[in-house]
Amino acid sequence: MRWAPPACRWRPCSRLESSATCSGPCRRRRDRSSRSSLASAGSAHLEHACPEAGADPESFKHQKASGVTDGVPWVVEAAFAYRPGAETYRLIYGCNWSPCIGDLFDLDGLLADHWVYDEAPVIVIVHLACPVLAFTDWGKSTLALPYQIEEAVEAVVIKVVAAWTKAVQSRKKRDSAAHAKRQGDDCARRRHSTYQ
């Protein structure tokens, strides 16, 4: 008797075909890819990369989120560190362990809301690992993400910059109070000098 390969080995199983009718390699491959077992860049690697960019290792923060969207697993990571002496912030984006061109995740507005702007001496790293990415242009500088991944990216970025946001807000509050006190003292001095 001659051996014959399973039918799905020679023709791809359609997504409409139920997994119960397909028992060959295509089903095993589809089941394997639906698990959220993607490797990530990892906290240790990102923590090692931050001091090379002039960051303070004590200020390093890392967050990770993972999930499965439409049967496709994904892992999002964000890292943050303070860079003493730096004059501008540094953003590093990556997809599938490769650096990206431009603001791939369109986070400038979100970061500005959390006091990470041009003069902020910090580094922010965002990495997405996903087997299927939908780029909207040939240069791979714009990415169309499902809303679950976009929300996860925003959530991990907000978590890693939270300590920075709190520190900047408290400093601004102290500066504002000191300025108001100086203004009040100046007004009191002027009033006192006009009555004499």
Question: Could you give the residue ranges of the DSSP H alpha helices within the chain?
Answer: 7-10, 25-33, 43-52, 108-113, 147-195
State whether residue 104 is helix, strand or coil. Answer: coil
Element (H, E) at 117: none
Confirm whether pTM is higher than 0.75.
no
Classify residue 36 by its DSSP letter. Answer: -
- Strand 90-95 to strand 72-82: parallel, antiparallel, or no bridges (unpaired)? unpaired
For the beta carbon of residue 49, count every other beta carbon within 10 angstroms.
17
Q: Which domains does the chain have, with CATH numbers?
A: 43-176 (3.30.230.10)
The pair of structure tokens assigned to 27 is 């089903």
Q: Do strands 61-69 and 72-82 pair parallel, antiparallel, or not at all (unpaired)? A: antiparallel
Tens of pLDDT along the chain (196 residues)?
444 444 444 344 444 444 445 555 444 444 444 444 566 667 787 887 778 888 888 889 999 999 999 899 999 999 999 998 888 888 888 898 888 877 788 888 888 888 787 788 999 999 999 998 888 888 888 888 999 999 999 999 999 999 888 888 887 778 777 777 777 666 656 665 555 5
Give the SS3 label for residue 47: helix
CA atoms in the 13 A half-sphere facing the CB of 93: 15
